[in-house]
């Protein structure tokens, strides 16, 4: 009897050893998805405050609200170590005083710190900066509330902000506002913007003489003697890593040792200016990651919100998610880049599916039950095509933006925009729309011109609007002066049919030559 018990005990030990070993292998083979029973913890550390959920630790300056440290995957601090603590991870803006010409850059530093929520499920911190008349001409006339949020078992953290100007305040132009994160160049050297644009990046010193030579504009550098000889003769230009809003849900950086990813995930484009085709910066040499919410890049003054004296305004930017992951290391392990990028894309898809988030504590962020939806079907009728019959506007871009004329969404930068793609039959559904009054806009690949629905649309909480024109579907009639005589390219607001067939090899970028879309 005693021998049988010992044999059974021995088998149990082997079984549990096998199971524990398999669990360890499963955890080390994938990205960080390890739950912790400890929940989220908040600590006051003098001039710093800290959020920690057992997976990642984030340290912020108090009361400025700049991220000075991120600890993850055995790396004590992912942030740029030789920079001032206020110049590592921060919200910033460029504003133009009505009385002056040039823009003024400011890192948005809070003057008051509050703990909004502090329990094991969630920590939410607020860093506010309040304007008053004594700051006229020296600080942008905005009240700004920056929020940072950490959730239980989440490998990362969120940030959003509420910009508010009450009625009666001075006028100004907002040229740019964004979130900026500067990482360690000794760790993060591989940038990924999308499936075709990913590369080993130069070091910051490579952009300075004598290692690099500035070209036609200061952001473009010919690498003559870079730290990595493989990059010699190529051009570094942060604008070549720009992406259209509709294509910019995730981008970031990868560290090779230990294999670690730092990703910016933008789960919704509703708070970004200029609509789905507006191009914004993503990641660039630094290593720097940007969440650009508003800018005049590639467009100029029309994309700068111009606030008149006395004009009230409020807008919520974000939340965006800073996602951290890791890959298997050791002899025989696969290269970390594909696995980390694929995992980041999966996480981005999950974040998009969670939108609108339920966790933001600010009442200015509208939850799902406070929003509405719009449905309909769009047809195209071109009298010189398809025998003049109306056909489905397949793959049309259809969106809600502030009231205006057809096409005005392209320069709309004060409110929110909500876009979708029509199905093959022209049907569309725009969900989770914030309350307010909008116009419905559209443009259809293959057709010139812009569509605007004739009436304004008011969204109320829980509203579900079905749009029709008369007794039928919506119909877009593209502008025409007569039949098509000839054409070059396709009227789809892309330039894929146009590229330089024989580029100057002195200014060649091999990583942009892997896809026709980027040539």
Residues 331 and 388 in one domain: no
Burial, 17: exposed, middle or buried (Cβ in 10 Å; 0-12, 13-18, 19+)? Answer: exposed
Q: Tokens in use for 129?
A: 């900066």
Domain at 445, CATH number: 2.60.40.1120
Residues 300 and 343 in one domain: yes
Residue ranges, the chain, pLDDT below 70: 1-37, 99, 330-334, 500, 513-519
Is residue 239, in this structure, part of any structural domain at all? no
* Residue 518: predicted pLDDT: 55
Q: Is 6 helix (H, G, I), strand (E, B) or coil?
A: helix
Is residue 333, in this structure, part of any structural domain at all? yes
> Judging by DSSP bridges, how do beta strands 104-107 and 474-476 pair with one another?
unpaired
Domain at 339, CATH number: 2.70.98.10
Residues 420 and 451 in one domain: yes
Q: In which residue are the tokens 């696969």 written?
A: 334
Residues 190 and 334 in one domain: yes
* Residue 5: predicted pLDDT: 35
Residues 152-198 have pLDDT tens digits of 999 999 999 999 999 999 999 999 999 999 999 999 999 999 999 99
* Residue 8: predicted pLDDT: 39
Total-model pTM:
0.91
Q: Are 73 and 156 in contact (CB under 8 A)?
A: no
Cα torsion 62, 163, 70, 37: sign: positive
Residues 26 and 102 in one domain: no
**Quick count: other Cβ atoms within 10 Å of Cβ 93?**
21
How far apart (Å, rounded) are the C-alpha atoms in residues 499 and 44?
55
Q: Tokens in use for 483?
A: 């039949």
* Residue 475: predicted pLDDT: 98
**Quick count: other Cβ atoms within 10 Å of Cβ 147?**
24
CA-wise closest residue to 90 among 322, 323, 313, 413 = 322
Is residue 213, in this structure, part of any structural domain at all? no
CA-wise closest residue to 460 among 439, 420, 433 = 433
Q: Are 395 and 418 in contact (CB under 8 A)?
A: no
Is residue 422, in this structure, part of any structural domain at all? yes
* Residue 517: predicted pLDDT: 59
Q: Note the Cα 381 to chain centre separation in Å.
A: 36
Residues 305 and 436 in one domain: no
Q: Is 109 helix (H, G, I), strand (E, B) or coil?
A: coil
Q: Are 227 and 366 in contact (CB under 8 A)?
A: no
Residue 21 sits in which domain range? Answer: 1-30
* For the chain, the helix, strand and coil percentages under 3-state DSSP, each to the nearest 5: 15, 35, 45
CA-wise closest residue to 242 among 314, 208, 301, 191 = 191
* Residue 514: predicted pLDDT: 63
DSSP string, 295-345: E-TTT-GGGS-EEPTT--EEEEEEEEEEEEEE---STTPPPHHHHHHHHHH
* Residue 334: predicted pLDDT: 66
Residues 275 and 178 in one domain: yes
Is residue 200, in this structure, part of any structural domain at all? no
How far apart (Å, rounded) are the C-alpha atoms in residues 99 and 78?
41
Q: Omega into 480 within 30° of 0, i.e. cis?
A: no
Residues 262-285 have pLDDT tens digits of 999 999 999 999 999 999 999 999
Is residue 240, in this structure, part of any structural domain at all? no
Q: Which region, left, alpha or beta, applies to residue 490 given φ > 0 means left and ψ of -120 to 50 means alpha?
A: beta
**Quick count: other Cβ atoms within 10 Å of Cβ 418?**
22
Residues 286 and 418 in one domain: no
Residues 272 and 134 in one domain: yes
How far apart (Å, rounded) are the C-alpha atoms in residues 496 and 502?
16
Q: Is 141 helix (H, G, I), strand (E, B) or coil?
A: coil
Q: Are 88 and 100 in contact (CB under 8 A)?
A: no
DSSP string, 196-261: S-EEEPPPGGGGSTTTEEE-SSTTEEEESS-SSGGGTTBEEEGGGG-EEGGG-SEEEEEETTTTEE
Residues 399 and 328 in one domain: no
Residues 189 and 315 in one domain: yes
> Judging by DSSP bridges, how do beta strands 372-381 and 474-476 pair with one another?
parallel
What is the number of structural domains in the chain? 3
Is residue 508, in this structure, part of any structural domain at all? no
Sheet holding 122-129, edge to edge: 112-118, 122-129, 143-151, 156-165, 313-326, 260-265, 250-255, 188-192, 198-200
Residues 347 and 416 in one domain: no
Is residue 166, in this structure, part of any structural domain at all? yes
């Amino acid at each position: 009897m005693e021998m049988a018990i010992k044999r059974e005990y021995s088998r149990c030990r082997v079984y549990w050893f096998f199971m524990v070993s398999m669990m360890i292998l499963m955890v080390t083979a994938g990205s960080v998805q390890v739950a912790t029973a400890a929940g989220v913890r908040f600590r006051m550390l003098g001039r710093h405050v800290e959020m920690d959920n057992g997976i990642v630790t984030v340290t912020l300056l108090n009361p400025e609200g700049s991220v000075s440290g991120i600890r993850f995957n055995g790396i004590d601090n992912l942030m740029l170590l030789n920079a001032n603590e206020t110049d590592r991870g921060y919200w910033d803006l460029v504003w133009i005083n009505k009385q002056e010409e040039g823009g003024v850059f400011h890192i948005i530093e809070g003057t008051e710190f509050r703990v909004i929520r502090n329990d094991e499920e969630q920590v939410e911190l607020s860093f506010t900066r309040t304007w008053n008349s004594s700051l006229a001409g020296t600080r942008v006339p905005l009240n700004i509330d920056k929020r940072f949020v950490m959730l239980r078992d989440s490998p990362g953290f969120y940030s959003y902000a509420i910009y508010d100007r009450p009625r009666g305040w001075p006028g100004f132009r907002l040229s740019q506002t964004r979130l900026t994160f500067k990482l360690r160049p000794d760790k993060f050297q591989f940038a990924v913007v999308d499936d075709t644009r990913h590369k080993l990046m130069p070091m910051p010193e490579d952009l300075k003489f004598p290692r690099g030579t500035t070209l036609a504009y200061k952001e473009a550098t010919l690498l003559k003697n870079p730290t990595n000889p493989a990059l010699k003769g190529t051009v570094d230009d942060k604008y070549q890593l720009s992406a259209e809003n509709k294509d910019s849900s995730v981008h970031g950086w990868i560290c090779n040792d230990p294999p670690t990813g730092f990703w910016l995930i933008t789960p919704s484009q509703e708070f970004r200016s200029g609509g789905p085709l507006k191009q914004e910066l993503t990641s660039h040499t630094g290593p720097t990651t940007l969440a650009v919410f508003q800018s005049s890049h590639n467009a100029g003054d029309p994309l700068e919100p111009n606030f008149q004296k006395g004009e009230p305004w409020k807008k919520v930017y974000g939340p965006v998610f800073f996602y951290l992951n890791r890959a298997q290391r050791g002899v025989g392990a696969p290269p970390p880049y594909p696995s980390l990028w694929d995992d980041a894309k999966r996480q981005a898809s999950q974040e998009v599916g969670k939108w609108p988030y339920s966790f933001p504590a600010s009442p200015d962020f509208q939850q799902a039950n406070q929003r509405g939806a719009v449905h309909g079907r769009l047809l195209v009728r071109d009298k010189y095509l398809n025998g003049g019959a109306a056909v489905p506007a397949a793959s049309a871009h259809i969106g809600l933006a502030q009231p205006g004329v057809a096409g005005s969404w392209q320069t709309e930068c004060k409110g929110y925009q909500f876009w979708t793609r029509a199905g093959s039959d022209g049907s569309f559904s725009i969900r989770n729309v914030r309350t307010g009054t909008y116009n419905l806009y559209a443009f259809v690949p293959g057709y010139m011109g812009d569509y605007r629905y004739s009436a304004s649309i008011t969204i109320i909480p829980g509203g579900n609007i079905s749009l029709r024109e008369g007794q039928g579907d919506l119909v877009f009639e593209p502008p025409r002066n007569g039949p098509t005589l000839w054409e070059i390219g396709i009227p789809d607001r892309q330039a894929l049919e146009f590229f330089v067939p024989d580029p100057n090899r002195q200014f060649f970028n091999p990583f942009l030559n892997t896809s026709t879309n980027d040539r």
